[in-house]
Amino acid sequence: MRVHKPYTPRPGCHPPRLSIPQSEAQGIKPGVSVLTRLRRVECTIKRVAVIGPGAIGLFFGGLLSRLGLDVWFLDKSEERAAYLVKHGLLLEETTGVTSIPLKVTTDTTGIGPCDLVIICVKSYDTESAASLLPSLIHQNTLVLTLQNGLGHVEVLKKVLPERQIAVGVTFHGVTLVETGHIRHAGAGPTCIGSFLPDEKARGQLAKLVEILTTAGLATKLVDNIEEIVWNKLMVNIGINALSALTRLKNGDLVKSPEIQNLMAMAITEALAVARSKGLRANPQAVEEAKAACLATAENRSSMLQDVLNKKRTEIEAINGAVVKEAKALGIATPVNEVLTILVKGIEKSYNLQAER
């Protein structure tokens, strides 16, 4: 086992110019001390493990650590784990830049049972993350998945009771500038819920919501988390595969009538699947996806970044998941099926692509 000890924080640097007031982003009043925040909640969550130190994992874990909880990060890379321990987290916010010391390990045995485990890995690594859970949980541990796409709960149910699984959807804009350096570029709500209507589970979720909000992550407990997951999925369906295939930034996707048509067709298919599952699908999903393109005009989608870096994408959990759900319902989704095949084809041909 290799466990890395925390480092001494380095001095901060000048903050970037961002548009969201920090008090609004956090949902708390400025100047409230960490001790005061902790006293406001019954802190039943004391030890936390974050699996996956990407942008969202570092953001949530970093703020919980800053609140005073015992937060561990689990990384599959020895090199990155050592770097994060040496340099810590550099968190850019509207009020300044903060250095936060991190505890990072590549082995679960040095952590012990946790009260909360947050899963922030890519969708295709969910099974690997789930295999780490038995040594991290006790009978009341909550496991929160903050991942894109569909199918994560089904994987987690193989290793723990569904009453211990929380599903989260966050709309915070967080960018990984480089290893250990993240920029909080836009505040948004975080919604948490369960696919299981259980009163005891709801009570645990309510405590989690309170702690996350106290940490600065404005969170609400919802009864329709599956619908919210699908509604966020619609935006990903409209942007990710098309940007990966065309290599266009988000804003450029809506400059082409042809690409806009494809976007509408893919989302319309997903809406039909959601409605067939009995979910209240968002009738404005197509327009919201276009609006998201304009609001993040200069962004390269995560799937485009994966393709440019010749990495595996999350196509199976996004467009591919819609195709899978549709087949089970006897619904045709030809556009999403073709988009899935094309992106998977690109993944398998990285070493064959012609150089410019």
Active centre residues (catalytic): 232
Q: Which residues contact 117 (CB under 8 A, 6 or more apart)?
A: 48, 49, 50, 51, 133, 136, 137, 141, 142, 143, 144
Q: What is the 3-state secondary structure (H, E, C) of the chain?
A: CCEECCCCCCCCCCCCCCCCCHHHHHCCCCCCCHHHHHHCCCCCCCEEEEECCCHHHHHHHHHHHHHCCEEEEECCCHHHHHHHHHHCEEEEECCEEEEECCEEECCHHHCCCEEEEEECCCHHHHHHHHCCHHHCEEEEEEEEECCCCCCHHHHHCCCCCHHHEEEEEECCEEEEEECCEEEEEECCCEEEECCCCCHHHHHHHHHHHHHHHHHCCCEEECCCHHHHHHHHHHHHHHHHHHHHHHCCCHHHHCCCHHHHHHHHHHHHHHHHHHHHCCCCCCCCHHHHHHHHHHHCCCCCCHHHHHHHCCCCCCHHHCHHHHHHHHHHHCCCCHHHHHHHHHHHHHHHCHHHCCCC
In whole angstroms, what is the distance from residue 92 CA to residue 320 CA?
34
